[in-house]
Every structure is written in C-alpha cells, then in structure tokens.
Amino acid sequence: MKPCRSVAADPQALCTVLRHARHALCQRVARAAATPDRMFAADFPALVGAVEAGFRREELTMEALGMPGLRERRQHNALILSALHHVTRAVERGSRETGREVVRALRDLPHLHRHAADLVLAVSALQQRTRMRAPNQVRRVAARRGIAA
C-alpha cells in the first residue's frame, strides 16, 4: 500500500486543487450565463454561494502554502462578495439585467487570478531549495552576499 501524503505538504497537489476549484467556478458562471430569464433570479443566490465557496477554497489553499498576498486577496474577495450580495437583492426584486452584467464580469474573474498557481509553485520551489541547503552552504552564500550568518 502506498503511503498517504498530506495534500498540505504537496504544493503541486494544492495547485491542482486550486485549478480544479477555479475550473468548477468557471463552469458554474457559464451555467448562470446560460440560465433562462425566468429562472435567473432563483438561480442567482446559488451562484453567489458557489463564488463564496470558490473564494474560501482559494484562500485556504493560499494559507496552507504560506503564500504572500493572502490578506490582499481576502480583501479583494470580500469586496466582490459584498457587491454580489448587494446585487442579489436587486436581482430578487426583478433587476435581471444587473445580475446578467455581474455574471459577465464574473467570467473574467478566474483570469484575474490565473497566475496564482504558478506563483505558488515558484515560491514553494524557492522555499524547498532554501530548506534543503546544508547549513555551511547557506553560510557561504551569505558570506558572498556580505550577510553575517
């Protein structure tokens, strides 16, 4: 039997989780865009829930990897979610066009964050290389750079 590795210990696995979560969110947004007008208002709160869940997965993944920029990403996500909740009330009152406009904007959202997985892998690889250096090698590198080790 293969030993079970923790996903949190494997940056590539976490990046895969992140990609799958984004892909699922993209599919959900596409389904919302294709929802007929008569069902759009009833479906919109579920879309907002899916966006919340997607953001939560992304933030947990970033936190597990110790990624820089997590605080800023959470602030950005909070602004988007606040706007979505505000629009939800308008959609429920019959303003489907406002909701459709938001769905069109959401289509681009995953592309705004598309480099996050690459950044995670780059940061993780750098951290692993640093951890794997022997102490005397770290001292030599520090001495060359004029840093007291």
Q: What is the largest CA-CA distance in the chain?
A: 69
- Consecutive H or E run containing 22: helix 11-34
Q: What is the pLDDT of residues 8-47, one digit of tens each?
A: 557 777 778 777 888 888 889 999 999 999 999 999 999 9
| Angle 72-76-79 from CA coordinates, rounded to 5° | 140
Give the CA distances from residue 84 to residues 15, 21, 37, 71, 98, in Å, rounded to whole numbers and listed in that order.
26, 19, 18, 20, 10
pLDDT in tens, 60-79: 888 887 777 789 889 988 98
Name the token pair of 63.
């936190």
DSSP per residue over 74-121, as a string? HHHHHHHHHHHHHHHHHHHTT-HHHHHHHHHHHHHHHHHTTTHHHHHH
